[in-house]
Amino acid sequence: MAKVIKLRKGLDINLKGKATKETATVKCPGEYALVPDDFHGVKPKVVVKEGDAVKAGDALFVDKLHPEVKFVSPVSGTVSLVERGDRRKLLSIRVASPSPSKGGENGEEARQFTVPSKETGEAVKALMLESGLFAFLRQRPYDVVANPEDKPKAIFVSAFNSMPLSQDFEYVLQGQEAEFQAGLSALAKMAKVYLGVSAKQTVKALTEAKDCEVNIFDGPAPAGNVGVQINHVSPVNKGEVVWTMGAEEVIFLGRLVKTGKVDFTRTIALAGSEVKAPKYYKVKVGQKLTTLLSEKLKENSEKSGEAGSVRIINGNVMTGLKTTADGFLGAHATEVNVIPEGDHADEMLGWIMPRFNTFSTHRSYFSWLFGKKKEYVFDARIKGGERHMIMSGEYDKVFPMDIYAGYLVKAIIAGDIDRQEALGIYEVAPEDFAIAEFVDSSKLELQRIVREGLDILRKENA
């Protein structure tokens, strides 16, 4: 029987604009991009040039330190642009994909990979490396692309996201149960697999999944974060390595095992208060957002720079990155959230007013009288400037890990590496601090601070 882990620390934020359980398709945008910054810890080396014809599954770039780790095209087409920035930093590799042509499902031409008849750990790893799916494995410590030379003590998969406006994986899983199980079974050949499931999820494909240990987590956000689940099931100590993989990326692996081809089709949630009809859409990794967002935002939201301008977020509203309609879907993004920018907000008397439609964790407004079911509209304003860090314990109230979050952040800012190691930095990722950043009275960019701390520590230990 699955173990139930009750979490009491955290904070659920009920935002307006949740995606309804309805799935639609969007017109092929004609251009896709693979962005190296989506794969943290990689030094990219381009292996194609503009004008090259590629199939889905052909490598676009590799990691300089581990050339066997490939990053492949999500579609077939022609390399239209190798985009570089300052100091020739690789920003993206774009692939122009024409209308459906010969070969493959929906005209997609995909490279055929040889699936080993006998699945061993080494065979599965080799297949993932060759097909580019190994790039979707991330490791703790450091929250970077996994090192194929490491032997992880476990692989963790979280089947739910508890952040606001997040994708409902139980809905996404419908019709793909066999692929998900095939992916879990393949991962289990490399290391023991732990599957984290929400107490609200009841589908047997999750609660009775095979070849893995199922743990049920009951509690508020960030209970769905894989870092929280690692901390409560098998904490990472110095010298140990744990790999993680997104639940929908496990489906990618299952498709590969079953067909010998890569298929990076996702079902993402287009959600947020500025979306006309929030729902799910089938798209591919790296897809241009133009056709996804076109005519789907509220009328006054489409006039960027005027009253009602919006913040388009590539990923979740709590952890994603700011983008534009001309941007590309992130490699790990399971949502595209759209909220008001707030750059023209006019609030009479500011925080003094006894507001009923403004959320507060400290009951500063009367809105708390309406209970947890009330939905709120948030904009992108910080509502205050950065100030001195006050050790009030507010991080610990929403941080459900056996770590002193406030002291760890102070150690990172101070550059005290020994202190960081003692306080558990090897277990955390920036996303684990998203809720703490939201409630932070000091307005510190905790996720950025943690990311910089992990990068420095990784260089020190290299």
Q: What is the SS3 assignment for 293?
A: helix
Contact 235, 439 (CB under 8 A): no
The reply to whether omega before 141 is within 30° of 0 (cis) is yes
pLDDT of 9 reads 97
Q: What is the SS3 assignment for 217?
A: strand
From the list 40, 234, 1, 236, the residue with the least C-alpha distance to 138 is 40
| Backbone angle region of 399, left / alpha / beta, with phi > 0 → left and psi within -120 to 50 → alpha | beta
Which domains does the chain carry?
Answer: 3-259 (no CATH), 265-370 (3.10.20), 394-461 (no CATH)
CA angle 405, 408, 411 (to 5 degrees): 155
Model confidence over 256-274: pLDDT tens digits?
999 999 999 999 999 999 9
Provide the residue-wise pLDDT of the chain in tens; the chain has 462 residues: 689 999 999 999 999 999 999 999 998 888 999 999 999 999 999 999 999 999 999 999 999 999 999 999 999 999 999 999 999 999 999 999 986 544 444 568 999 999 998 889 999 999 999 999 999 999 999 999 999 999 999 999 999 999 999 999 999 999 999 999 999 999 999 999 999 999 999 999 999 999 999 999 999 999 999 999 999 999 999 899 999 999 999 999 999 999 999 999 999 999 999 999 999 999 999 999 999 999 999 976 544 434 458 999 999 999 999 999 999 999 999 999 999 998 877 777 766 777 888 888 887 787 878 888 899 999 999 888 888 887 788 999 999 999 999 999 999 999 999 999 999 999 999 999 999 999 999 999 999 999 999 999 999 998
pTM above 0.85, yes or no: yes
CA 221 to CA 164: how far, in whole Å?
Answer: 8
CA torsion angle 289 295 300 301 (round to 10): -20
Q: Which DSSP string corresponds to 205-224?
A: HHHT-SSSEEEEEESSTTTT
pLDDT of 102 reads 42
Model confidence over 217-243: pLDDT tens digits?
999 999 999 999 999 999 999 899 999
CA 254 to CA 171: how far, in whole Å?
Answer: 18
Which residues, 6+ apart, have CB-to-CB distance to 443 below 8 Å?
382, 384, 385, 386, 387
Contact 145, 40 (CB under 8 A): yes
356 Cα distance to chain centroid? 32
pLDDT of 174 reads 97
Q: Which DSSP string corresponds to 354-417?
A: --SS---TT--SGGGGG-TT--B---S---S--------SHHHHS--SSS-HHHHHHHHHHT-H
Contact 189, 120 (CB under 8 A): yes
Q: How far is CA 60 from CA 53, 185, 243, 306, in A?
A: 11, 28, 24, 39
Per-residue tokens: 248: 């929908």
Contact 417, 450 (CB under 8 A): no
Q: What is the SS3 assignment for 129?
A: helix
